[in-house]
Amino acid sequence: TLREKLGRACRGQGFVLMGGDPAGSESFDDFRVDRVRDTFRALLQMSLVMTFGGALPVVKVGRMAGQFVRAPLRASSSGESDGGPPTEERDGETLPAYLGDMINASPFNPTSRKPDPNNMVEAYHQSSQTLNILRAFSAGGYADMSRLHAWNLDFAEETEEGSRYRTFAAKVDESLRFNRAIGIDTSDKVFQTTDFYTVHDCLCLEYEGALTRKDSITGKWYDCSALFDDDDDDDRLDDSPHVEFVGGVHNPISLRVSERCTPASLMKAIEELNPVNDPGKLSVIVHMSPESMRERLPPLVRAAQRESKNVLWIADPSYDDVDVEGCVVEKDFEGMRSQLRVFFDV
């Protein structure tokens, strides 16, 4: 199960690779099979390189099939400080903030910015389609390791990285031929299929609650909208309905922490979210700059180790936005690589 795989990664017996859409970036208008496929094959590429280089299994998790809601603090330009609904102001006109397609629409007009509960139904149907596409790709032959040359994204074909990937793929091909030569059946499903899981930010509790079910055999509650729930913000650690919800379901959960997080607040959250200290239940996603990580992360890690807490630490290397043009956010690749190096150093 996913919990068991995450538990092994927590004990240093594997890695977790998580990638896809940030909160609020999935949209109804931009839904395409090619987009889902490209994210899936990029993660396949990355996981294969990590497995080959690290000699450890990699748990593949896609941030998709539910990323329709963005956090109010990130979506609003005003209106949050007084405790009211987040708002946005343009040219002297103030309207409700855009909170993602599950809540309202992005055009700046009163009709579009009015929350529409029917959007939750549409988000559910699109998420179901995304999951069906991922099932087809992961179990239908696309993940066959003999096709690893086909996983290279078109834009990377003529780049230095694309060339290095082709060299790597040739090594894997050679290994597969050797396995076949000594009698290992590379047509087995271990070589042709892969396990792929999904996660999304748990921001709209009305949606998550409607999809939460009690297992008739175990009596445990599960959020059926995703296999892996993510609480997106350490600002919600204290007396938060989000913390109460994710702590009450049996799904694996993750908590994103920034440089604002203190060892005391983290320990309190771990106690609430994983009171039985079950390996694989709780992951902590570190969302810090390299400079902050060197200073702030070691005390958090030491606090968890001192209390013998089973925590799976995950780096979020997309900390800094370089440029924002419309809805396109560019990331600094060298900055991401620097952050990963600091994370592993810690």
Would the pLDDT of 78 be above 50?
Answer: no
Least reliable range by pLDDT among 133-142, 147-156, 273-282, 285-294: 147-156
- 168: phi then psi, degrees, rounded to nearest 5: -65, -45
In angstroms, the CA 73 to CA 94 distance is 16
Region of residue 325 (phi > 0: left; psi between -120 and 50: alpha; otherwise: beta): beta
Pairing relation of β-strands 58-63 and 15-20? parallel
| Residue with the larger pLDDT of the pair 152 and 19 | 19
Report DSSP state, residue 32.
-
* CB neighbours of residue 315 within 10 Å: 22
Cα–Cα distance for residue pair 255/284, rounded to 1 Å: 5
**Calpha distance 62→149 (Å, rounded):** 21
User: Per residue in 208-264, pLDDT tens?
Assistant: 999 999 999 999 999 988 766 555 555 555 567 888 888 889 999 998 898 989 999
Q: Contact, 67 vs 200, CB < 8 A?
A: yes
Query: What per-residue confidence (pLDDT) applies to 120?
Result: 96
- pLDDT above 70 for 79: no
Residue type, 120: M
CB-based burial of residue 174 (10 Å sphere; 0-12 exposed, 13-18 middle, 19+ buried)?
exposed
Residue with tokens 């902050």: 292
What confidence score (pLDDT) does residue 21 get? 86
Q: Say whether 121 sits in a helix, a strand or coil.
A: helix
Question: What pLDDT score does 83 carry?
Answer: 57
The pLDDT tens digits for 169-195 are 888 888 888 988 999 988 888 888 999
| pLDDT tens track for 84-124 | 688 999 999 999 999 999 999 999 999 999 999 999 999 99
Half-sphere exposure of residue 249: CA atoms within 13 angstroms, side-chain side = 27
In sequence order, the β-bridge partners of residue 60 are 17, 196
pTM beyond 0.95: the answer is no
Q: How many residues does the chain have?
A: 346
Indicate whether 329 pLDDT > 60.
no
The single-letter code of the amino acid at 75 is: A
Residue of 201, 157, 245 lying closest to 18 (CA atoms) = 201
